[in-house]
Amino acid sequence: MQIRSLLLTTLFILLLSGCAQEKQGTVLKLAHGLDPSHPVHQAMVSMADRCKEISDGQLSIDIYPSGQLGSEQQCVELLQIGSLAITKVSAAVMESFTEEFKVLGLPYIFRSREHSFKVLDGEIGDELLLSTEPFWIRGLCFYDAGSRSFYTIDKPINHPDDLKGMKIRVMKSITAMEMVKAQGGSPTPISWGELYTALQSGVVDGAENNPPSFYTSHHYEVCKYYSLNEHTMVPDVLIISQKIWRKLSEQEKLWLQQAADESVAVERKLWAESEKESLRIVQEAGVKINYPDKEPFAKKVTELLESYRENEKLFDLINRIKAVN
Spell out the CATH class of 148-233+278-323.
alpha beta
- The side-by-side arrangement of strands in the sheet containing 206-209 is 186-189, 167-170, 206-209, 148-152, 225-232, 288-290
Tell me the domain boundaries of the chain.
2-144+236-276, 148-233+278-323
| Digit-coded pLDDT (tens) for 175-215 | 889 999 999 999 999 988 899 999 999 999 999 999 988 99
Question: CA–CA separation, 130 vs 101, rounded Å?
Answer: 11
Distance CA 119, CA 270 (A): 20
Distances (CA, A) of 157 to 4, 175, 219, 225: 54, 20, 16, 8
Among 193, 169, 168, 238, which Cα is nearest to 74's? Answer: 193
Mean pLDDT is lowest, of 96-100, 116-120, 159-163, 250-254, for 96-100
Cα distance between residue 137 and residue 130, in whole Å: 8
Mean of all residue pLDDT scores within the chain: 92
pLDDT digits (tens, 9 = 90+) for 218-246: 999 999 999 999 999 999 999 999 999 99
> Where would I find the H helices in the chain?
2-15, 39-54, 72-80, 113-120, 123-130, 174-183, 192-201, 211-216, 242-247, 250-284, 295-300, 302-306, 312-323
The CATH class of 2-144+236-276 is alpha beta
Residues 273-294, mean pLDDT to the nearest whole number: 97
